[in-house]
Structures are given as structure tokens and as C-alpha cells.
Amino acid sequence: MKIPNILTAARIFTTPLLVWLLLGNHGAPAFCVFVFAGLTDALDGLLARLLDQKSRLGSFLDPLADKLLLVTCFIVLWRVPIRGVPIPGWLVLVAVGRDCVILTGFLILTLYKVRFEIKPLISSKLTTLFQLLTIFTVLGRSFFALPRWMYPVLFGVTAVFSIFSGWRYVSVGTELFRLRKNKKGAMKA
């Protein structure tokens, strides 16, 4: 197994620990585990490029690890607020709903044997950044507090990026499906 994939696997295995800490209301240690997970995310991508260790397995595992971590944190922090700041249910619905739509699209494309490469869109990278920032600031209340008005603003910006990137994935998937359908029709004619 390549070093970037080991780091990605470590991120996957930190998620249950993070949930356990959050449910036990251990905000400071949970924040530290989340920061560690974030560092492994940055490091695995950097090492994959520097060591030329990009792999097909990594292209599936990395987004899976990100989604597992983020979706889990959104759901748990909605139910277990850190120092009085829960993640609102509507934002959980937007973030988790986006991922469900994207996953459904991947499954549909796979079932219809549409060839595609998993490459994150720029809007998706920005969405992940804002989702991570949202979790970071909510968990970080154990160490620092932003002015209360900043949380709704951050939640709103995160929702906008989540909706936009979800729409972009649906657009790309629809186009791939349409191209496959047109190609099949041309072969039959």
C-alpha cells in the first residue's frame, strides 16, 4: 500500500474516534482529532503528487474518506452542539443531500456503463474547503470563539457552495449520460 493511501486510511479510522469524542462531549480532543484528519488529507494529496504515487484506489478512497468525515461531523454536530453552536438542520440537509445526489449520479453512470473519471471540480474543492472550515470553527469553540454573527454567514456560504457544486456535478453527469446515449444512437444508425 502506498503512503498516501495509508494516510487516507488513517483518516477513515479517525472518524469513529471523532464520533466517540463528540458524543462524550469532549470538544477539545475532538478538535485535535479533526485537525489531525485535516492534515492527513492535505498530506496524502501532496505526497501522491511529490512521490508520484497517485493510484486508482486513492482516487476512490480519498473522496470517500472526506465524505465519511464530513457527513459524520455534520450529523453529529447538528445533534451535539459544541458550546451552544449547533450546525443547523437545514445545512446538514444541504450538505448530506448534495453527497447523496452525487453518489446516486455515480451509481447511475456506473449502472449504465458510462465511462467517467473521478476528478473533483473546482466548485467541489471550494465546497469541501467551506465544509471543513464550518466543522473547524464549530469544533474550535473549545479553543476560540468567533463573533456569533459569523456562524450564520459561514453556514450560508457553505450552503451556497454545496448547492452550486452539487448542481455542477449533476450537469456534468447529465452531459456524460447524454453523450453516451448519442454515441449509442449513432452506432445503431
Model confidence at 83: pLDDT above 60:
yes
What does the pLDDT average to over 84-111? 93
Grouping H, G, I as helix, E, B as strand and the rest as coil, residue 84 is coil
Region of poorest pLDDT, from 9-13, 73-77, 176-180:
176-180
What does the pLDDT average to over 162-174? 94
Record: fold of 3-188: Four Helix Bundle (Hemerythrin (Met), subunit A) (1.20.120)
8 and 66 Cβ atoms separated by less than 8 Å = no
Closest CA to 132 of 157, 168, 105, 103: 157
CA distance 76 to 69: 11
CB-neighbour burial class of residue 88 (10 A; exposed 0-12, middle 13-18, buried 19+): middle
CA-derived radius of gyration, the chain: 18
Q: Which residues pair with 82 in a beta bridge?
A: 85
More confident residue, 164 or 146: 164
Q: What is the pLDDT of residues 116-135, one digit of tens each?
A: 777 778 998 899 999 999 99
Residue 26: predicted pLDDT: 92
> Which DSSP symbol is given to 88?
P
What is the rounded average pLDDT for all residues in the chain? 89
Distance of CA 41 to the CA centre of its chain: 11
